[in-house]
């Protein structure tokens, strides 16, 4: 019909196929009732078998996924025949009779079972599925970081996205399922009533027992780790689901429907209570954020300077690239050798360790030094963790400002343990200017480059329901639903907007840089998330493009993390060229550092029970008037060395103004306590300690790449 739509033959084709269909229908209805079901079952089995053959013999996709899906089709085709066989066996059991030994005989005959199944189990089960997918799962996700989902485009409150998802889920699980239920005969209604609690229990099993380890998820619903499962996990998941489904079928078969209805009702009640709790938690944090929420600056008409660097004074620049991957740098340099010259005067320290694998514990040492490592924070157990975190963020700005420097801070991590924008802790320091740049320049960048990406709110409105379906689905189907962050969408630009929130800042750095001839020294402390949000970029310059055609020549060219790291380092190189042209480079000390590495081991392979790459942050340092091509130094370093490196030879005998202790690098002369354990989530207000597990934590010394140098804290 599609091919012949404009042809007169289309009508003839339609008429012919309609007659063929009528012929097949009439032949089917002429068959006696006894064989109709088995013929349909045979057709169903044949379709499943052909699908399995197609996946194995013809399809060219991922082999492991093809094997799993083929196994699923074969299992589904065999299951009805197993049920028929069980029914025939069970119907041979004795009919209900006298009570024997206190236990009544169970009657398995379908012929004498109640003619109608109660619709209660159907509606309660699908109501629970509605609450699970429409309220509980999206609210649970948003409650983990409410402010990241706030103030998105024209939607201020994150509750809006829960309402949208709940409406979509209501349509799918309540409206359409009810329509189907009332449309069919009583026998089909009984099948629906039996299927509903099975679907509910399988969904709950997938949500709570098979959560999957996909790393952190961004506000654009993109995981920072790949979505994939090995064959053993998938088969274990399918086996458990099969046992649960079979158990519920047996309960229904022996007429224990009241038990199933009660369990479904309990699930509905529990999920509703948890959802209400999550929603109240989200709303309370959103309302609290309104106290410090600044004016929306996302609709900029032009990019203007936000910080000043001096031509005659000294400029100290610290840039934290969130989750920048140190082990990728040699490969980026091999692919783009010109970076050796563009990073003139820099020294690369590959043998650098972070004290935790996530921002919450990995970032305070960058700004506060060794007094703000997880172990040292826990030693001051009378002070709330949030207060100590704020001290770390304030230490360098306070020292520089009190020494007469002009200080600018952008996008500090978790100020006052808020996800974003609570910059009130800087307000009492008159020489410090604190700003938010992340996402501020995104729309302007997209407009200038004539690109059309979906907004974050549009992505959430569409994909939060898909996220819920993803969570309730078996492991075998999750990769297909997620589809590399596109959530069953045919386009590949879903995550690009989030990447641009940080990338646009790096790309606009020349325009954001003000220049002064004043001899006043300047300090710039910047945090950027480009290296945290994954999108493929167009090689060799690694710039955003709607449809990437060149992935580069690196061994990691198909790793999204490599692309964003290469893109960030190249845009910084562009800025360094601008600084050289403006005579601002030589008199600048520049430190590039990350809080931690990736969750996966891309390069470093050891038998240690954790990924060394995750605790190996990027560290690049250029001192004042340093010259020569980029060099590599294998000295043992940590990202807690940054404050000392920044203050060295500028502030005489620098001390921490909050504790009075000297700022040094001497702590690493002894083995360093690395918190392998610890939650990635923000601490509850008032909590004074990080929750650490010494049985999982390690000491390390000298070189992080030698497993012998890692020693468990408690053997």
Alpha-carbon gap, residue 406 to 523, rounded angstroms: 6
> Exposed/middle/buried for 671, CB within 10 Å: 0-12, 13-18, 19+?
middle
pLDDT reported for residue 456: 78
pLDDT at 35 over 80: no
- In degrees, to the nearest 5, what angle opens at C-alpha 697 toward C-alphas 694 and 699? 110
3-state secondary structure of 417: helix
Measure Cα distances from 657 to 217, 295, 397, 398, 648 in Å.
Answer: 37, 32, 11, 8, 16
Instruction: Calculate the average pLDDT of the chain.
Output: 86
Beta bridge partners of 522: 315, 406
Alpha-carbon gap, residue 202 to 472, rounded angstroms: 8
Alpha-carbon gap, residue 699 to 703, rounded angstroms: 11
Between 112-116, 556-560, 700-704, the lowest mean confidence (pLDDT) is in 112-116
**Confidence band of 110 (pLDDT split at 50, 70, 90):** very low
pLDDT digits (tens, 9 = 90+) for 623-654: 999 999 999 999 999 999 999 999 999 999 99
pLDDT reported for residue 113: 43
pLDDT digits (tens, 9 = 90+) for 200-215: 999 999 999 998 888 7
Alpha-carbon gap, residue 151 to 631, rounded angstroms: 43
Q: Where are the alpha helices (DSSP H) in 489-635?
A: 496-507, 509-512, 560-581
pLDDT digits (tens, 9 = 90+) for 426-452: 999 989 999 999 989 988 999 899 887
Measure Cα distances from 95 to 116, 252, 290, 630, 643 in Å.
Answer: 20, 17, 69, 87, 82
Question: Which residue do the tokens 């960058």 mark?
Answer: 366
Alpha-carbon gap, residue 469 to 476, rounded angstroms: 13
Regarding the domain delimited by 307-453+493-712, which CATH topology (the fold level of the hierarchy) does it fall under? Alkaline Phosphatase, subunit A (3.40.720)
**Confidence band of 150 (pLDDT split at 50, 70, 90):** confident
pLDDT at 96 over 80: no
pLDDT reported for residue 684: 67
Beta bridge partners of 632: 348
CA 695 to chain CA centroid, Å, is 27
| Residue with more model confidence, 10 or 367 | 367
Q: What is the DSSP letter of 547?
A: S
Alpha-carbon gap, residue 22 to 15, rounded angstroms: 11
Mean pLDDT of 319-335: 97
pLDDT at 408 over 80: yes
pLDDT digits (tens, 9 = 90+) for 508-535: 999 999 999 988 999 999 999 999 887 8
Alpha-carbon gap, residue 681 to 210, rounded angstroms: 21
pLDDT reported for residue 491: 52
Between 27-36, 237-246, 300-309, 523-532, the lowest mean confidence (pLDDT) is in 27-36
pLDDT reported for residue 7: 63
Contacts of 62 (CB under 8 A, 6+ apart): none
- In degrees, to the nearest 5, what angle opens at C-alpha 21 toward C-alphas 15 and 22? 90
Tokens of 373: 């490592």
Radius of gyration of the chain (CA): 31
Q: 488-525 in b/e burial notation, b at 16+ Cβ within 10 A?
A: eeeebbbbbbbbbbbbbbbbbbeebbeeeeeeebbbbb
> Exposed/middle/buried for 5, CB within 10 Å: 0-12, 13-18, 19+?
exposed
Cβ contact 132:468 at 8 Å: yes
pLDDT at 154 over 90: no
pLDDT reported for residue 294: 55
Alpha-carbon gap, residue 24 to 19, rounded angstroms: 9
3-state secondary structure of 662: strand
pLDDT digits (tens, 9 = 90+) for 463-506: 999 999 999 999 988 888 887 777 877 555 556 888 898 999 99
Tokens of 42: 């045979």
Kindly list the domain boundaries of the chain, sorted by start residue: 31-96+105-113, 115-291+454-480, 307-453+493-712
pLDDT reported for residue 32: 58
Kindly report the backbone phi and psi dihedral angles of residue 152, in degrees, each rounded to the nearest multiple of 5, phi listed first. -100, 115
Beta bridge partners of 462: none
Alpha-carbon gap, residue 663 to 650, rounded angstroms: 13
Between 102-106, 323-327, 558-562, 611-615, the lowest mean confidence (pLDDT) is in 102-106
Mean pLDDT of 61-79: 71
Cβ contact 555:439 at 8 Å: no
pLDDT reported for residue 293: 64
Between 115-129, 356-370, 460-474, 479-493, the lowest mean confidence (pLDDT) is in 479-493
State percent of the chain over pLDDT 70. Answer: 88
Alpha-carbon gap, residue 379 to 689, rounded angstroms: 8
Strands 307-310 and 513-516, sheet pairing:
parallel
With CA atoms as reference, report the closest residue to 319 among 632, 570, 618. Answer: 618
CA 12 to chain CA centroid, Å, is 53
With CA atoms as reference, report the closest residue to 575 among 564, 588, 563, 562. Answer: 588
pLDDT digits (tens, 9 = 90+) for 578-591: 999 999 999 999 99
SS3 string of 209-268? CCCCCCCCECCCCCECCCCCCCHHHHHHHHHHHHHHHHHHHHHHHCCCHHHHHHHHHHHH
3-state secondary structure of 682: coil
Alpha-carbon gap, residue 415 to 418, rounded angstroms: 6
pLDDT at 36 over 90: no
Mean pLDDT of 606-616: 93
């Amino acid at each position: 019909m599609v091919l012949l739509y404009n042809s007169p033959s289309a009508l003839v084709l339609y008429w012919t196929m309609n007659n063929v269909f009528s012929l097949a229908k009439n032949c089917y209805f002429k068959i006696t009732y006894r064989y109709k079901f088995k013929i349909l079952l045979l057709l169903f089995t044949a379709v499943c078998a052909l699908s399995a053959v197609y996946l194995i013999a013809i399809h060219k996709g991922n082999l492991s996924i093809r094997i799993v899906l083929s196994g699923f089709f074969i299992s589904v085709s065999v299951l009805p025949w197993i049920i028929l066989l069980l029914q025939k066996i069970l119907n041979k059991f004795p009919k209900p009779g006298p009570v024997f030994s206190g236990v009544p005989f169970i009657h398995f005959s379908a012929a004498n079972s109640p003619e109608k199944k109660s619709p209660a189990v159907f509606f309660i089960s699908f109501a629970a599925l509605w609450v699970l997918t429409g309220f509980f799962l999206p609210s649970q996700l948003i409650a983990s970081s409410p402010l990241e989902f706030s103030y998105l485009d024209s939607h201020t409150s994150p509750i809006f996205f829960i309402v949208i998802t709940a409406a979509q889920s209501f349509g799918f699980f309540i409206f359409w399922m009810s329509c189907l239920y009332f449309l069919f005969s009583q026998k089909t209604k009984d099948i629906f009533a039996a299927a509903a609690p099975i679907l509910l229990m399988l969904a709950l099993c997938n949500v709570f027992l098979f959560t999957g380890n996909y790393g952190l998820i961004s506000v654009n619903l993109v995981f920072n780790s790949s979505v994939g499962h090995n064959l053993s996990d998938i088969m274990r998941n399918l086996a458990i689901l099969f046992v649960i489904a079979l158990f519920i079928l047996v309960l229904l078969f022996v007429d224990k429907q009241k038990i199933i209805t009660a369990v479904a009702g309990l699930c509905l009640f529990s999920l509703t209570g948890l959802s209400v709790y999550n929603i109240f938690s989200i709303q309370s944090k959103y309302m609290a954020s309104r106290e410090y929420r600044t004016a929306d600056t996302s609709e900029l008409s032009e990019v203007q300077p936000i910080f000043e660097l001096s031509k005659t004074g000294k400029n100290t620049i610290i840039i934290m690239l969130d989750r920048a991957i140190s082990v990728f740098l040699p490969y980026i340099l091999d692919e783009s050798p010109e970076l050796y010259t563009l990073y003139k005067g820099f020294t690369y320290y590959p043998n650098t360790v972070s004290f935790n694998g996530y921002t919450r514990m990995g970032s305070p040492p960058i700004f506060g030094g060794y007094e703000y490592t997880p172990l040292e924070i826990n030693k001051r157990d009378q002070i709330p963790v949030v207060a100590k975190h704020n001290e770390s963020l304030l230490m360098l700005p306070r020292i520089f400002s009190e020494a007469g420097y002009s200080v600018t801070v952008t996008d500090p991590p978790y100020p006052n343990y808020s996800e974003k924008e609570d910059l009130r802790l800087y307000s009492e320091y008159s020489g410090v200017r604190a700003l938010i740049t992340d996402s501020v320049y995104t729309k302007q960048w997209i407009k200038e480059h004539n690109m059309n990406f979906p907004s974050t709110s549009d992505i959430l409105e569409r994909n939060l329901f898909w996220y819920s379906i993803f969570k309730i689905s078996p492991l075998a189907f999750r990769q297909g639903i997620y589809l590399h962050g596109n959530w069953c969408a045919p386009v590949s630009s879903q995550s690009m907007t989030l990447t641009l929130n940080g990338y646009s800042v790096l790309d606009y750095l020349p325009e954001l840089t003000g220049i002064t001839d004043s001899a006043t020294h300047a300090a710039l402390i910047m945090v950027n998330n480009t290296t945290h949000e994954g999108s493929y970029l167009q090689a060799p310059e690694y710039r955003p493009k709607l449809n990437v055609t060149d992935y580069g020549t690196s061994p990691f060219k198909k790793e999204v993390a490599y692309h964003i790291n290469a893109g960030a380092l190249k845009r910084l190189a562009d800025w360094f060229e601008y600084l050289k042209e403006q005579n601002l480079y030589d008199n600048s000390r520049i430190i590039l550092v990350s809080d931690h590495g990736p969750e996966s081991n891309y390069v470093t392979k050891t038998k240690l029970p954790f990924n060394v790459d995750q605790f190996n942050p990027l560290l690049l340092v250029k001192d004042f008037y340093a010259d020569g091509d980029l060099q590599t130094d294998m000295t043992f370093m940590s990202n807690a060395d940054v404050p000392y490196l920044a203050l060295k030879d500028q502030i005489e005998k620098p001390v921490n103004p909050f504790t009075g202790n000297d700022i040094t690098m001497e702590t690493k002369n002894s083995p360093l306590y690395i918190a392998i354990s610890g939650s990635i989530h923000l601490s509850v207000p008032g909590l004074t300690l990080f929750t650490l597990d010494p049985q999982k934590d390690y000491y390390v010394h000298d070189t992080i790449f030698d497993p012998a140098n890692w020693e468990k804290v408690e053997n």
